[in-house]
A and B are shown apart, each in its own frame.
Chain A
Amino acid sequence: MTDLTDLTISDAREGLAAKSFSAVELTEAHLAAIEAANLALNAYVLTTPERAIDMAKASDARIAKGKAGKLEGIPLGIKDLFCTKDVRTTACSHILDGFTPPYESTVTSNLWNAGAVMLGKLNNDEFAMGSSNETSFYGEVVNPWRRKGSDAPLVPGGSSGGSSAAVAARLCLGATATDTGGSIRQPAAFTGTVGLKPTYGRCSRWGIVAFASSLDQAGPIARTVRDAAIMLGAMAGHDPKDTTCADLPVPDFEAVLGQGVKGLTIGIPKEYRVEGMAPEIEALWQQGIAWLTEAGATVKDVSLPHTKYALPSYYIVAPAEASSNLARYDGVRYGLREPGKDVISMYENTREAGFGAEVKRRVLIGTYVLSAGYYDAYYLKAQKVRTLIKRDFDQVFESVDAILTPTTPGPAFAAGEKSGDPLEMYLNDIFTVTVNMAGLPGLSVPAGLSSEGTPLGLQVIGRAFDEETLLRVGQAIEDAAGVMVKPQDWWSTHA
């Protein structure tokens, strides 16, 4: 029997249905893999083995009764941004020390209702603020991929670095993640996994620790396009508890995967050919264009003229919302409290000790751009730019069905390489933030290896609520590129 942790979700689903193995066996294999790997990778901040085994047993019972759900018995990792009932949830921030929610997020509830098994909580950048998973209070996550001939640790991307590393290193079959400016797609690209950021409003935000409410969206990281489709189908759906969640039926995402891309028109936006882009990224892009053309798609050059304003506008809107969303962490009701001589000094001491440097930076930026006298020049202007970015996409989508771009300007970088320079770090989101600003769906699919032997991803951008076309294009790329191989295991204590 092959290693159970190396299965895809769709394989595992078949194996469980055929009773080739049990859900308990599948879960135990993953718990063992986590046990062996976590010291080196630090992907999980908390494991829930007893709960996992109990859930797996319940899955086996339902499978035996022929009542299996869509994700029955599938072991998943959950980003620590998702509130999980009776399981510590901290958004990897010191300020939420010991916080154990008495409620379950809608997305994870949907997963458990579909029969999925929770292995534990995955590491992420503190409050999802970061592109390298170096800002977590629980320490850095290490990318299972290494450069050829080097032992130097690489970052797994961020903010969903625990999710991407765990999926790539076979520490779960799939993981939940969230994406505010690229936090699903960039880590997926850095780890050779598939990351799907759905349309804003496709998944409920209820119970997910908020970073920037108008940009945050939950989605899956998995090892194949099909697995991402299966997971999204279970995560998505209308939720009356989130006013911004769309009241639309959830399509059968898996059903479209065989449809190919014949007849589709794919746009290639010239503004994404940024200065200083690595030749291998340009080559990867051309390769993607060639694959899709060969598969029967028509490729068309398009223009998204306001692209260059997206990143600066994003770094106004997201911190503005974050500065307000994070005001509730005041030491009064839950999490960390650092006493002070009066209530103001208690606030100051708590927030000083509780927030890391990157979170503080964004709270400061956000507070500044919303201040009287600056609001019009920054926040209001950024919102106007946002409208223009949306309009760019609307116009392009009149003549194309999807857009193809690189996911990131380069492959995974070394730990510490960019953490000293926030601007350098922010530039990593240059291809992904536009999608959040416009509320559109974006998919990152592994498309090859860099000259250093590390994964690279291509991004497909679609129309709002048209994840189906996105998945068809993604499938075509995956078919051409081949499913990304498992990185060589250097991390397991028994390896």
Chain B
Amino acid sequence: MDAKSENSNLIAGDTGDWEVVIGMEVHAQVTSNAKLFSGASTEFGGDPNSHVSLVDAAMPGMLPVINETCVAQAVRTGLGLKAEINLYSVFDRKNYFYPDLPQGYQISQYKNPIVGEGEVIVDLLSGERVIVGIERLHLEQDAGKSLHDQHPQNSYVDLNRSGVALMEIVSKPDLRSSEQAKAYVSKLRTILRYLGTCDGNMEQGSLRADVNVSVRRPGDEFGTRCEIKNVNSIRFIGQAIEYEARRQIEIIEDGGTIDQETRLFDAKTGETRSMRSKEEAHDYRYFPDPDLLPLELSQEFVDEIAASLPELPDEKRARFIADYGLTPYDADVLVSERESVDYFEEVATGRDAKQAANWVINELFGRLNKEGLTIGDGPISSAQLGGIVDLIKDGTISGKIAKDVFDIVWTEGGDPAEIVEKRGLKQVTDTGAIEKAVDEVMAANPDKVAQAKEKPALAGWFVGQVMKATGGKASPQAVNALLKSKLGIE
């Protein structure tokens, strides 16, 4: 990041400019059928306590057994983040008491995580590019859920999530604005979805972030940070940072100091409030879990996963720009969701990629947006849209008619070629028929013919009339050529 882009993110205070410094700990639920150390299902939305094994409930004498799928997913994610994979890692116990933590400790990785340093490239709409360092990624168990609204006096506990595998992805404090932070989480989510290692569903809690925020004068040392826990939407992440940065600036400008503490974001008020101070922080008494051997991976295991990695958004974006001549903006729009890019590539295969991109972005995404649908819900398949593009390409229909065909396919479905055939929407390229129409229009408007010789711009009016007469099916190129020669204009 250069000095210029840093400066553009400064926040004006009463006493001068401030820079916000943000680091993120993103908790991403590993896509896996079973939990990290038990065979219980990870399915979302089951009846309370319906996906709980003896291990998850911490019954006496139960032991954790590592789920190899989760390990492979963590390695896959690490490779996707261009990170170092640690062939030797250790599971530790993080000890604390809470009713939704049945063991009395969370199995996590403390000193030796499975994934080391990596990076995420974040491109903002403004064209600004930020390279965010990844500090580490480690595997850990999720806790259960306390339910406080079921009974006037008692709380209930649902252990369905207890033991579900999470990847905690820790960034370096490389982010300098709420926009950057939001874009980082979006990009991370995109990468995870490409990799298939986390569904990124923030409403269901599959992805949540702890946001570390501090402020400083540009060029100064880092300020004291506050950690905002468990923020569960990208919009809230932005709001929480904006609020928290302002709060800290106000305190410092009023002569106060920032207390290192853990805070909660209240989505209703858009504010953060203190949860516990540094003095109240837990002593987690981390130590290696004696029930689990250190996790030792072979290089072959890592290499096999590396060989199966899909093309990631950065590579796709670069390829679209270089090979297809797409604009960076269009390329960004296409690669931001795995479903979108898959759809686009299906349409683009064997066709003009630029034209495919126009149709996907302008017509399809435009319509989806208007109707509030996602690409998965849209009624037009990539094969159908590809069919429409083919009909334009081989001159069967004009671009204008193609939009009508798009409408018909959207509302009624069907094969575009058949629709064009059945409804007689084929472009008229038969010069005889077009010439007849041109002659008729000219014969009916002798005064305009005379004027056109003086004002060649009037040719456009004739084109319109001929198109009207042919029901829009005449090839506009053919009409133009004929008119020009018959009106004697160049």
Contacts and interface: CB of A to CB of B under 8 A. Distances in A.
Interface in B67-107: 93, 95, 97, 99, 102-105
B292 interface: yes
A209 B60 contact: yes
B63 A205 contact: yes
Interface in B56-71: 57-66
Nearest to B159: A333
Interface in A300-345: 320-321, 323-324, 326-328, 330, 332-334, 343-344
Contacts of A323: 95, 285
B61 A105 contact: yes
B243 interface: no
Contacts of A135: none
A101 interface: yes
Is the interface on chain A under 10, 10 to 19, 20 to 34, or 35 or more residues?
Answer: 35 or more
B103 A328 contact: yes
A102 B93 CA distance: 26
B3 to A, nearest CB: 39
A96 interface: yes
Nearest to A103: B54
B60 A101 contact: yes
A293 interface: no
B291 interface: yes
Interface residues of B, number: 30
B293 interface: yes
Contacts of B287: 320, 324, 370, 375, 379
B291 A241 contact: no
A243 B64 contact: yes
Contacts of A241: 63, 65
A375 B93 CA distance: 13
Chain A contact residues: over half helix, strand or loop, or mixed? loop
A89 B291 contact: no
A399 interface: no
Interface string A92-122: 0000100101110100000000000000000
Contacts of A99: 60
A444 B299 CA distance: 45
Interface in A271-303: none
A10 interface: no
Contacts of A244: 290-293
Contact of B95 (A102, A324, A343): A324
B66 A213 contact: no
A103 B59 contact: yes
B50 to A, nearest CB: 16
B258 interface: no
A320 B59 CA distance: 20
B103 A327 contact: yes
B333 interface: no
A7 B34 CA distance: 49
Given A324-B95, A328-B103, A243 B292 contact: yes
Given A343-B155, A371-B283, A328 B58 contact: yes
A332 B104 CA distance: 11
A277 to B, nearest CB: 32
B285 A370 contact: yes
B391 interface: no
Given A210-B61, A370-B287, A243 B293 contact: yes
Contacts of A344: 97
A73 interface: no
B157 interface: yes
Given A101-B60, A242-B63, A372-B283, A213 B102 contact: no
Contacts of B292: 243-244
Among B66, B102, B286, B287, chain A packs the most CB atoms within 10 A around the CB of B287
A190 interface: no
B290 A212 contact: yes
A47 to B, nearest CB: 21
Contacts of A372: 283, 285
Nearest to A209: B60
Nearest to B284: A372
Contact of B61 (A205, A324, A333): A205
A240 interface: yes
Contacts of B283: 371-372
Nearest to B292: A243
Contacts of B97: 327, 330, 344, 347
Interface in A200-244: 205-210, 212-214, 240-244
B104 A327 contact: yes
B106 to A, nearest CB: 11
B132 to A, nearest CB: 30
A243 B291 contact: yes
Contact of A91 (B60, B64, B65, B285): B60
Nearest to B146: A343
A279 to B, nearest CB: 39
A330 B66 contact: no
B161 to A, nearest CB: 16
A206 B62 contact: yes
Contacts of B99: 330, 332, 343
Contacts of B105: 324, 327
Interface in A250-267: none
Contacts of A214: 290
Contacts of B102: 328, 332-333
Nearest to A127: B60
A121 to B, nearest CB: 14
Contacts of B155: 343
A461 interface: no
A347 B286 CA distance: 21
A469 to B, nearest CB: 26
B65 A213 contact: no
A475 interface: no
A102 B61 CA distance: 12
A332 B49 CA distance: 14
A445 interface: no
Interface in B23-60: 54, 57-60
Interface string A387-425: 000000000000000000000000000000000000000
Interface in B145-166: 155, 157
A83 interface: yes
B60 A330 contact: no
B61 A367 contact: no
B157 A332 contact: yes
Contacts of A105: 61
B285 A324 contact: yes
B461 to A, nearest CB: 82
Contacts of B66: 243
A208 B54 CA distance: 13
Among B57, B61, B93, chain A packs the most CB atoms within 10 A around the CB of B61
B76 to A, nearest CB: 22
A332 B144 CA distance: 13
A102 B60 CA distance: 11
A370 B95 contact: yes
Nearest to A367: B285
Among A209, A332, A371, chain B packs the most CB atoms within 10 A around the CB of A332
A451 B446 CA distance: 141
A88 B54 CA distance: 17
Contacts of A242: 63, 65
23 contacts: A83-B59, A91-B60, A96-B60, A101-B60, A101-B61, A102-B54, A103-B59, A105-B61, A210-B291, A213-B289, A242-B65, A243-B66, A243-B291, A243-B292, A323-B285, A324-B285, A327-B95, A327-B103, A328-B102, A328-B104, A330-B104, A347-B97, A367-B285
10 smallest beta-carbon distances between A and B, as pairs: A327-B104, A370-B285, A213-B290, A214-B290, A328-B58, A207-B61, A209-B60, A372-B283, A83-B61, A213-B291
Interface of A: 82-83, 89, 91, 96, 99, 101-103, 105, 205-210, 212-214, 240-244, 320-321, 323-324, 326-328, 330, 332-334, 343-344, 347, 367, 370-372, 375, 379
Given A89-B60, A327-B103, A330-B97, 5 more contacts: A101-B60, A205-B61, A208-B61, A323-B285, A379-B287
